[in-house]
Amino acid sequence: MMEKPEKLIVDGKRLDGRSPDELRPLKIEAGVLKRADGSAYVEMGKNKVLAAVYGPRELHPRHLQQPDTAILRCRYNMAPFSVDERKRPGPDRRSVEISKVIREAFEPVVFTKLYPRSGIDVFIEVLQADAGTRTAGINAAAVALADAGVPMRDLVSAVAVGKVDDTIVLDLMKDEDNYGATDMPIAMLPRKKVITLLQMDGHFTPGEFERAIELAMKGCEQIYEVQKQALKAKYSTKPEEE
């Protein structure tokens, strides 16, 4: 663990050299898992997240089946080796909550009515964590769902904004999250700018909040472009010659 630095922002630059409105390097790849119906791998700075989607498929246990709609199930899980101190494997309070909010972030975009009595399973595995894993997980899951051929109104893009040394910053990394004042992950539909997830740890004044949302929207737009490219790249590759 790093000691708390005296200043998190020096001369308008953050600890990793980014400006306050800059995202971490982002890499998205679609269709990385052969056995899943859809999958995606996302690197957001030091975060490494894998998402897999199964379905729509016959839903078990059967008592969960809804006669008129598909249900969405989501599991966010952190690998024991994803953090500095070994994390006890298995679901805990935190990951159960994150699974729930991620599911709710996707429920408004998926056309569940097209697949009555079925289930769509989304698995998000955090391989390496560096603050903002739920947003990275959402970005991965959105691409994985599209890759699985699940009909959706839009993709979902997510990013965190926060307050560090009284500055509003985009896409917090670990030290900013740990020692900063506020952390606010946001997920939205990039086309209609509808927010489907918003959580906040810390305080914002109303003015700061507005600026933070604005910054997050800009961030999501950039992420959306990368998601789009990742999906198109999977199918634009030329077939190998026999």
Rounding to the nearest 10 degrees, give the CA dihedral for residues 86, 89, 92, 98.
Answer: 90
Nearer to another protein, 2 or 233 (CB): 233
- Size, binding site for another protein by CB under 8 A: 37
How many other CB atoms sit within 10 Å of the CB of residue 7? Answer: 9
Tokens 């809804």 locate to 66
Nearer to another protein, 98 or 186 (CB): 186
Quick note: the x/- pattern for another protein over 213-242, rule CB under 8 A, is ---------------x--xx--xx-xx--x
**Residue by residue, what is the 3-state secondary structure of 119-175?**
EEEEEEEEEECCCCHHHHHHHHHHHHHHHCCCCECCCCEEEEEEEECCEEEECCCHH
CB of 42 to another protein, least distance (A): 16
Nearer to another protein, 37 or 183 (CB): 37
Tokens 């634009």 locate to 236
Cα dihedral sign, 225-227-230-231: negative
Binder of another protein out of 5, 13, 19, 58 (CB under 8 A): 58
Nearer to another protein, 46 or 228 (CB): 228
Q: Does 116 bind another protein (CB under 8 A)?
A: yes
Binding site for another protein (CB under 8 A): 37-38, 55-59, 67-68, 109, 111, 114-118, 146-155, 189-191, 228, 231-232, 235-236, 238-239, 242
